[in-house]
Structure 1
C-alpha cells in the first residue's frame, strides 16, 4: 500500500481527539483500516461527560439562537468555503479511518458543501414567519413562527462519518439549535475536524459538541439530554432509539437499513445498467445504506447483463492506496469482513453459486474482501433477506414487470430502489409501484440523494422521517402559532341570542366555502 498521508501527523490527530470529553480516562484505539495501526487514542465519554456536553451546547445555543438568520447563514458561508479549502485533508482523514477508496472518500467530502449551499439558499424562505388566514376574514390572522428545538443529538454511522455527522448538523445549526454529535468510535476523526472548521467559521465555541463511546454506554444519557435526535444506522438500533425518544417525549428522525433492489427492464441500455450496477453493488465496498443487494434482470437480457457484469467486476481494481487509482477499498474492520464472509459462505452452503469474488484478501489488508456476485440466492439464505452491507450482490431473473415489482417489494425494507429502462415514462410507472422512499431511474442512488431539495427517507422498516428538502430543515424546529383577533366577534353580539348566532355562523361557513374564502 502507499504511505499514509503526511497531513495525518500525531499532533494533528491528538488535537482532534482532545475535543472529546473523557474524564474517567477510558480510551478506544482508533486505527488506520489498511494496516490496523493505531492513529489515535479516542477518549470515551462517561454519562457525566455527555450531560456536560449537552449543558455546554445549551448555553452556547442561547447566543446562537438569538442571532438573526442572516448572521447564522454568514457563518455557514464561511464554513462552506473552509470545507472546500480543506477538501483533500478531509479526504485523507476519511480514507484513513474508514478504509474506503480515495474516490469514495472524496465524493463523501462533497456532500457537506452541497447540503450547506442548498440550505443557505433555501433557509430564509423556509424559516421565515408565514402569515395565515384566521377563522374570521379580515378581523383575524395567524403567524406560523419557527423556533429551534434546543440541542439536537446526532448519532452518525461509520460508513459516511463526515457526510452524516456534519451534513445532518448543518440544517440543525441553521435552524438555531446547538448540536451534540455521537460518531462511531471507528470513524470519529473526520466529524471532529468538521467541528473544528465550524468554529473557525465563527459558531460560538461549545455550540457543537462531540461525545464518543459504545452505543449502550452512551445512549441512555444522550437520549435523556437531547431535545431531538437524528439517527442513521441499523433498524434494530433504530427501534431502541425510537422507544427512548418516545419515553422522553422528543422527536426523532431515523434512517435505517435496506435490502435495496435494482430492476433491469427489457429495453434498458445494458452497458449503462452494468456500469450503474458496479457502483450500486460495490461503491464504498458495498457499505452504503442505499446500495444494491438484489438485482432483477429480465429474461430477455439476463445472460448479456450477467456476462458483462461479471467481466466488469473482475476488472475492478481493489487496493490499499491513498491515490485515486483503486475502484474498491477495504471494509471498515476485520469483524465486518468476517460478517460479510459469513453471508457468502452461508449462501454457498445452501446452493448459491459464486460467479466472481467470494474471498477475503489479507494480502491487501486485514479487512479486504473481493467484490462478489452470487447466482441462485434464495430467501432461506442469510444474504437473501438480511442486509449484508458489503460488496455482495445476488442476480435474479424475472419474466414479467408484475413479477419484478413483486420481487422488489418482497422485503421488510424500503429505503432505495433502482429502475433501468430507456422508456422513462414506463420506468416511472414501475418506480411508482415500488415500496421505497427513494427510487432512481437509470441511476443507483446519487441522483435521489444529491437532490437536496427533495426529502430522502425510508418506508417500512427503513426509517421514520427524512433528511433533505424543506422537511430536513423544519424537523429541527417547533412551530409556534401566534394568532391575532382584532375585535371580539366570535360569539353573540350585543343582544343577539345564541340561536341567532348559531344560524348566522352556519350561513357564514356555507358562504365562505361557496366563494372560496376559507
Structure 2
C-alpha cells in the first residue's frame, strides 16, 4: 500500500463547480482507490462534483501518516500550537465569503445560517488559541504530606483522534472539534459526511495555510459503514456527531476497543413559555430557534409548551410570524430559511407531518413541500393536537416543523419537557430570570437557555455543551472540550521520609500518629 508524496493518489474525479475545484486533491487515498460518490447542490439538485469512496485501505494510510506526524507536533510548545489556531481564525474571517459559498453549495442552507456557522467556528478557534497553557499546562496539586509530597498533573495527548462529522453544520462541527484536538497535541483523521465533504476539505486547506503540518490533519471521504468502523479500529480516540442510532454503534465499537470517545446525538428539544414572558421576544426567538437551517439543527426547538393563559395569543403571533419567513436559494442574506439537504431528508419530514395529520393533528401553517422554490424545500410548519402515538411527537424530525401544546402549571410543563428519551437542549421564556434558572435546573438537558432558543448557551464557548440521556456522552467547548483529547498523568515526588513507618517505629504507633495527623489536616484549611 503506497501513497503519493502529496498525501493523495491521482483520481480521475471531475469537479463541476469552481468553488470546490481542487479540494478533492486533499483527500487521503491509497493506491487503487477509484470509486467515487457524486455530490449535489440541494438548491437545484445538480451535481457539483464527486469525492473518493474511501474504505479500509485508505483509513490505514491516513492513520499511519497522522501517527507519524503526531509526535513532532506534540513536541512543539503549546504557544506554537496556539499560533496556528489564531492564524486559522484570521483566515476564516478574511475568507468568509468563499467559505459561505461552499457551505451553501453543499448544504442548501440560507446564507444567514451559513454565516452563523462560520462565525461560531471562528469563535471556537479564537477561544482555544488563548487558553492552551491554562487548560493543558502542568497543574500543581496538593500532595498527601504537605511539604514532603509534591504532585503535578500533565495532560498528554491521546495520539490520533478520529472524528466523524455530520452534514448539517459541516464546517463548524468538523473544524470546531478538530481544533482543540490539535491544540492538545494530537493528530486528526476526519471522516466528513459524504454530502458535505468539500466544506471539510476547505477547512483542511485553511488549516494548512495557517501553518498546520499537512500530514497532521487527514481527511478520508466516503460512506459511513465503509469508513467509520475502520477508523474506530485504528485511532486512539473517536468523536461522533450524528444520530442516536449510529451513535450507539460507534459507542459500542469504541467500548470494545477501550477507546475514549464522545458522542453528540439527537434531540427533541422543548421550549417552555410562561405567562409572564415577553411574547414578542419569545415569538421572534422561537421562529429562529425552530426553523433556522430548515430545522436541521440538533439543538433546535421541536416542541413548544405554552401556558394556557397566553396560549391562544402566542399561537396566533407564532403562526403569523412564521408565515412571513422568507424561503430562498440565493447566495445573499435575503432568505431566512433554505433547503433541506436531500431527498431522503425531505421524505422523512414529509412522512412525520403526513402521519400527524392522518392521526388528527392540526396544521396551522405550512405542512407541504415547496418544489417551486427548490427540490428539497419544505415549508416552516406549526402543528397542534399532536399526540404521543404520532412519530412527530417523540422522534426527532430534523426539519422545519414544531408542535405547540398548552400547559396549566410549572410542574406539568417541566414533566412534559422531560418526557423524552433525549436531553440535548431546552429553552425557557419568562420575565423572572431567577424563576427561569430554577426551571432550567429541573430540565434534564445538557444546555438550557433562558429567554433564548439555543444560541446563548451554544455560543458561550467557555461553557460545556453536550447531551444527557440518549443525546450523547461527553462535552465540547470549554476546558472539557480540549481535556477530553488528553490522558491526565499524575507525577508525585516524595521528599524525605517515605510513606512507610520509619525503621524501629512499631506499626501501632505509626497508625496512631497517622490517624491524628489526618484529623488535624481536616481541621486546618490550609492543609486540606
TM range (shorter): over 0.9
2:171 is paired with a residue whose SS is: helix
Task: Report matched runs for 1:252-267 at 5 Å.
Answer: 252-267=261-276
Q: For the Cα contact (< 8 Å) 2:23–2:198, is it kept in 1?
A: yes
Per-residue deviation at 1:281? Answer: 1.1
Q: Is the 8 A contact 2:167 2:195 kept in 1?
A: yes
| Deviation per residue, 1:231-263 (Å, 9 max, x gap) | 111111111111111111111111110000000
2:297 paired with 1:288:
yes
Q: Distance in 2 between matches of 1:261 and 1:150?
A: 38
Query: How far 1:328 sits from its partner (Å)?
Result: 1.0
Contact 2:191 2:228 in 1 (8 A): no
Structure 2 counterparts to residues 72-221 of structure 1, below 5 A: 72-221=81-230
String of CA shifts for 1:58-100, please: whole Å, max 9, x gaps.
1111111110111111121111111111111100000010000
* Cα distance in 1, alignment partners of residues 39 and 46 from structure 2: 8
> For each residue in 1:206-249, what CA deviation from the matched residue of structure 2 results, as whole angstroms up to 9, or x when unmatched?
10011111111112211011111111111111111111111111
- Alignment match of 1:314 (pick from 310, 317, 323): 323
**Shift in Å, 1:514:** 2.2
Task: Give the C-alpha shift of residue 488 in structure 1.
Answer: 3.4
Q: Is the 8 A contact 1:21 1:43 kept in 2?
A: no
Please say if residues 20 and 45 of structure 1, whose CA atoms lie closer than 8 Å, have aligned partners that are also in contact.
Answer: no
Residue 15 in structure 1 maps to residue 15 in structure 2: no
Deviation at 1:12, TM superposition (A): 5.3
Question: What is the TM-score with the length of structure 2 in the denominator?
Answer: 0.95
Residue matched to 1:397: 406
Q: CA deviation at 1:357?
A: 0.5
CA distance in 2, matches of 1:18, 1:35: 25
Does residue 423 (structure 1) correspond to residue 446 (structure 2)? The answer is no
Q: Paired residue for 1:5?
A: none
Moved more, 338-347 or 360-369: 360-369
Decide whether the 8 Å contact of 1:21 with 1:44 is kept in 2.
Answer: no
Gaps of 5+ in 1: 1-7
Contact kept, 8 Å, 1:17 with 1:40, in 2: the verdict is no
C-alpha change, 1:159 and 1:12, in structure 2 (3 Å) is closer
Find runs of 4+ consecutive structure 1 residues off by over 6 angstroms: none
How far apart in 2 are the matches of 1:482 and 1:430?
A: 43
Correspondence for 2:307 = 298
CA displacement at 1:9 relative to structure 2: 7.1
Provide the rounded CA distance (Å) in 1 between the counterparts of 2:412 and 2:141: 48
Q: Note if contact 2:20-2:102 (Cα within 8 Å) is conserved in structure 1.
A: no
- The corresponding residue for 2:364 is 355
Structure 2 CA distance, aligned partners of 1:428 and 1:80? 33
* Correspondence for 1:443: 452
Aligned residue among 212, 223, 242 for 2:232: 223
Q: Deviations over 1:19-67 (max 9, x none)?
A: 2234421100011111111111110112011111011011111111110
> Does structure 2 conserve the Cα–Cα contact (< 8 Å) formed by 1:254 and 1:465?
yes
Q: Cα–Cα, structure 1 residues 285 and 119, in superposed 2: closer, same or farther, change >3 Å?
A: same
Equivalent pair of 1:417/1:439 in contact (CA under 8 Å): yes
Partner-residue secondary structure (3-state), 2:104: helix
Structure 1 residue 15, shift from structure 2 partner: 1.1
Give the distance between the partners of 1:115 and 1:327, measured in 2 at CA: 24
| Structure 1: distance between partners of 2:315 and 2:508 | 77
In structure 2, distance between residues paired with 1:330 and 1:229: 30
Counterpart of 1:274 in structure 2 is: 283
Who is 1:64 aligned against? 73
Residue 13 of structure 1 deviates from its aligned partner by 2.1
Q: Structure 1 stretch 479-488 or stretch 143-152: which is displaced more? A: 479-488
Pick one of 449, 453, 456 that aligns with 2:465: 456
- 1:233 maps onto 2:242 in alignment: yes
Please state how far the C-alpha of 1:341 moved relative to its aligned partner.
Answer: 0.2
1:14 deviates by 3.7
* Contact persistence 1:64–1:203 (CA under 8 A): no
SS at 2:415 equivalent: helix
Aligned to 1:494: 503
The yes-or-no answer on 1:246 pairing with 2:255 is yes
**SS at 1:273's partner residue?**
helix
Aligned to 1:4: none
CA distance in 1, matches of 2:523, 2:444: 39
Tell me how far 1:494 sits from its aligned partner: 2.6
Larger CA deviation: 322-331 vs 494-503:
494-503
Residue in structure 1 matching 2:391, options 379, 382, 394: 382
Query: What TM-score, normalized to structure 1?
Result: 0.97
Shift of 1:127: 0.8
